[in-house]
Structure 1
Amino acid sequence: MLIDWYYYLMLAVVDVEANFLVVKAYQYTSLTSVMLLDCWSIPCVIFLTWIFLKTKYGLWKFVGVAICVAGLVLVVFSDVHASDHEAGSNPVKGDMLVIAGSTLYAVSNVSEEFLVKKAERVELMAMLGTFGAVVSACQISILERNELKSIHWTAGAVLPFLGFALAMFLFYSTVPVILKISGSTMLNLSLLTSDMWAVLIRIFAYHQKVDWMYFIAFGAVAVGLVIYSGGSKIDANIAQVAEAKEGDEESVVNNLVQ
């Protein structure tokens, strides 16, 4: 192993608790609130990568981030406009759970980015999956045992669990690849599109009508991702133009002095 095992154990604890807190929040607050507050992970990721990974962000990267967040805010406004949300049983508690979970998501994603670049993807996935399963089993046996007993394990109840397990398997299999190529900030920005894809499910699976703002929001997020992914080249070109301009000014001054 390239990384000591206890680092993977700490990462597994953070990752499991992040998922637990956000999923738990759905019991208390609305989907709209979860969508909005989940954006808190983005500034957290930017701050953590800047401090610990020494990632440099140019102006156009911040522009891309702002456009992506604006697109998600449009989704929230469309939900409000369509009156498509419920307040929840305890919105304040649910919102606090989402904020805490989003912060832990940021810590987990930045840690995974560091580990996958320092070690390798296979080792990260093997250790995170192993320790994550142990931590989840311990937490279920301690905290959620009574809730599991209250579930009637029919086919209708098993299928959602299987679907969630498949989704998480695919998610955690592709995340290290994205982290190694694009970094944790790009990952969190891309995850904003998950709220947009929910629109397609509502339209084609449940035959529900959606507000027109959804499509503008999806376009905004897509444009923001393109700007962010190309931000490094844009900032580099601006820096080259500035350096060339400074060089021309210096040559003019030298010629005048001579």
Structure 2
Amino acid sequence: MDQHTEHTLCGKLSSACGFSSFNFKNIFTSRLLKTIALGQVLSLLICGTAVTCQLLADSKVETPMFQSFLNYTLLLLTYTTFLCTRKGDGNILQILRTKWWKYLVMGLADVEANYAVVKAYQFTTLTSIQLLDCFVIPVLMALSWFFMKTRYKLVHFVAVMVCLLGVGAMVGADFLAGRVQGSTSAVLLGDSLVLLSAILYAVSNICQEHTVKNGSLVEFLGMMGLFGTLISGVQLAVFETHAVSSIKWDRCIILLFGLYVSIMYALYSFMPVVVRLTSATAVNLSLLTADLFSLFCGLFLFHYKFSVLYLISFAVIIVGFIMFNVVPTSSAPPNNSAEEFANRTAGSSSNPLMDADEEAETFIAVDNCN
């Protein structure tokens, strides 16, 4: 094989893997470090909701729909109220006239995803939930491919496999530590609920990504607050009226409810910002560490047994997350502009992360001006 042929094959392989214009000296850029940090902030927030839910459950309070209703109501009182003060095309009446059905679908998917995964704990084990909940990632990638026209490279698929390997290590640590939670009363039903919640989360997240990257964050959160409150309010009235009325309110219960709602409000307010800067798939990869943060908290609060596999799992997930974000995805060009797309790609800088960062900053600046 001559040198020219070898060089051509290496170039094709690098392009397929996503390294054709990548400089390994620029791996740990400020953008990548910021992406990792923001993702772990989201994981910590989810950890906070998990811990408060566990503390409420220990206090014999199991009202997932009521808790969601409080969160959506807080979004309604802030973001939806702000939308009501807008004038022109951004007014809430104009949004409802043109986009009501889109936000209805998003709100329904989000509410039911939360409800399905919580109900799954009554029928299946924590191990099944941790494993099957990862199904959201391939579903998200498929939806992104078809609806967002996102094109992944080989390194992205390898990165996802690395992250899932980290989840496997976490589940293995749970098994070795004998930490079994949940139920086995109807495993098939419970597993089906987890898969359903993963699909609904994927639908909700891909809609969220499309909305926040092409519109206003306030509009998205305001509409989620409006439709989320309506949908969860109806389900609350149907399914949890008795459970809420039987709560024995005291200072501790009120504090836990307040803490849970505050964390959820922060999560819902902050997550669209991170999705806009990265992608729904990248965000969900970073959220795989949330269970590990919950486990670390459980070492002190619930006396879980420590395993070194937890640390290995965390490290593996972070490595996979870095692999996924270090090479940016691309978008499929329209059929009639493939040549223009190729020319634009050829004229870009040698550091794709810097290009992506500049595009994100430009988008945010334009959005703020509007």
Q: TM-score, normalised to structure 1's length?
A: 0.85
- Please state whether the residue corresponding to 1:137 is helix, strand or coil: helix
| 1:125 correspondence with 2:221 | yes
* One-letter amino acid matched to 1:51: F
How many Å apart are 1:181 and its aligned residue?
1.0
CA–CA distance in structure 1, aligned partners of residues 295 and 116 of structure 2: 24
CA–CA distance in structure 2, aligned partners of residues 58 and 202 of structure 1: 37
* One-letter amino acid matched to 1:106: A
Cα distance per residue 1:175-230 (max 9 Å; x no partner): 11111111110011111010111122023434543111111000000000000001
- Please state whether the residue corresponding to 1:232 is helix, strand or coil: coil
* One-letter amino acid matched to 2:291: D
2:317 is matched with 221
- The correspondence of residues 5-16 of structure 1 with structure 2, limited to 5 A, is 5-16=100-111
Instruction: State which of 9, 15, 19 in structure 1 corresponds to 2:114.
Output: 19
Q: Unmatched 5+ residue regions in structure 1? A: 234-238, 241-258
1:232 is matched with 328
CA–CA distance in structure 2, aligned partners of residues 208 and 25 of structure 1: 22
| 1:42 correspondence with 2:137 | yes
CA–CA distance in structure 1, aligned partners of residues 260 and 129 of structure 2: 18
* One-letter amino acid matched to 1:28: F
How many Å apart are 1:127 and its aligned residue?
1.0
2:205 is matched with 109
- Please state whether the residue corresponding to 2:295 is helix, strand or coil: helix
How many Å apart are 1:87 and its aligned residue?
5.6
- The correspondence of residues 88-103 of structure 1 with structure 2, limited to 5 A, is 88=183, 89-103=185-199
CA–CA distance in structure 1, aligned partners of residues 299 and 250 of structure 2: 27
Cα distance per residue 1:24-53 (max 9 Å; x no partner): 112222222211111010010000000100
Instruction: State which of 123, 141, 156 in structure 1 corresponds to 2:237.
Output: 141
Give runs of ≥4 in structure 1 deviating > 6 Å.
none
2:177 is matched with 82
Q: TM-score, normalised to structure 2's length?
A: 0.60
How many Å apart are 1:231 and its aligned residue?
2.5
Cα distance per residue 1:113-161 (max 9 Å; x no partner): 0111121111111111121111111110012222323332333433333
CA–CA distance in structure 1, aligned partners of residues 249 and 127 of structure 2: 29
Structure 1 vs Structure 2: percent identity of aligned residues?
A: 37
Q: Unmatched 5+ residue regions in structure 2? A: 1-89, 330-344, 347-370
Change (3 A) 1:155 1:29: farther
